[in-house]
């Protein structure tokens, strides 16, 4: 990071925290631009001229670091962030002193993770309720479908019984019909309809 000049505003806790966050972000960015990843992108160069690739990697890292730091310093200077962050620190200290008497909530004791979680809890509760409603609706649909399946099963069972009875009756009729002689059948038919006599 760039060194602070004597005429610059001294950095308070929030300004220091901001610089720590920047340093951590730069480190994470540089980790994502690792030599191994670069070698994977340029396998032939890695094989043929690894020294050149290492030099290019170092140049890219230096360029990224210096560019990010310059941009960051420009933003700090043009937006007067150090003065504003120091003012924020002062206001928070005054608020702490005032609220210490009342035992009020202290936001400095809340971690960023806890703060994010507290924002996510209502959303997760809403999603949980939506999922419960969806489960309830699905269970109700399943009950209706099970009733319909049971009803269809009973209808199929009843139809099977009727079909079996008809089949049994047909088998009996066939059995009886096979026991009657053809002459008796012809005689019965001609008795019923005399015009069929030949």
pLDDT at res. 107: 63
Structural domain includes residue 132 = yes
Nearest by Cα to 55 from 66, 67, 63, 44: 63
> How many Å apart are CA 53 and CA 82, to the nearest integer?
39
Q: Are 113 and 42 in contact (CB under 8 A)?
A: no
Task: Using the predicted structure, report yes or no on whether residue 125 has a pLDDT greater than 60.
Answer: yes
Domain boundary among 76, 109, 142: 109
Dihedral (CA of 93, 96, 97, 99) sign: positive
Q: Is the pTM value of this prediction over 0.85?
A: no
Structural domain includes residue 164 = yes
Structural domain includes residue 114 = no
Neighbours of 46 (CB within 10 A): 17
Domain with 104, as residue range(s), is 13-109
| Mean pLDDT along residues 172-195 | 76
Whether residue 90 is found in the same domain as residue 19: yes
Residues 184-193: tens digit of each pLDDT: 777 777 777 7
Domain boundary among 80, 109, 138: 109
Structural element, H or E, at residue 169: helix 112-179
| Mean pLDDT along residues 99-120 | 72
Q: Quote the Cα angle for 72-73-76, to 5°.
A: 90
**What percentage of the chain exceeds 90 in pLDDT?**
37
């Amino acid at each position: 990071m760039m060194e602070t000049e004597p005429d610059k505003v001294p950095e308070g806790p929030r300004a220091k925290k901001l610089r720590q966050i920047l340093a951590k972000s730069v480190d994470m960015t540089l980790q994502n631009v690792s030599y191994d990843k670069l070698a994977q992108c340029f396998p032939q160069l890695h094989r043929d001229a690894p020294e050149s690739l290492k030099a290019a990697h170092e140049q890219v890292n230096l360029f990224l670091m210096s560019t990010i730091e310059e941009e960051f310093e420009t933003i700090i200077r043009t937006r007067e962030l150090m003065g504003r962050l120091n003012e924020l620190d002062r206001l928070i200290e005054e608020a702490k002193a005032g609220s210490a008497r009342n035992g009020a909530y202290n936001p400095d004791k809340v971690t960023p993770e806890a703060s994010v979680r507290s924002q996510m809890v209502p959303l997760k509760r809403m999603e949980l309720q939506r999922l419960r409603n969806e489960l309830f609706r699905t269970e109700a649909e399943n009950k209706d479908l099970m009733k319909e399946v049971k009803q269809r099963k009973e209808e199929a069972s009843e139809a099977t019984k009727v079909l079996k009875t008809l089949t049994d009756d047909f088998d009996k009729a066939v059995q009886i019909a096979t026991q009657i002689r053809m002459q008796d059948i012809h005689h019965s038919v001609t008795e019923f309809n005399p015009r069929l006599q030949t």
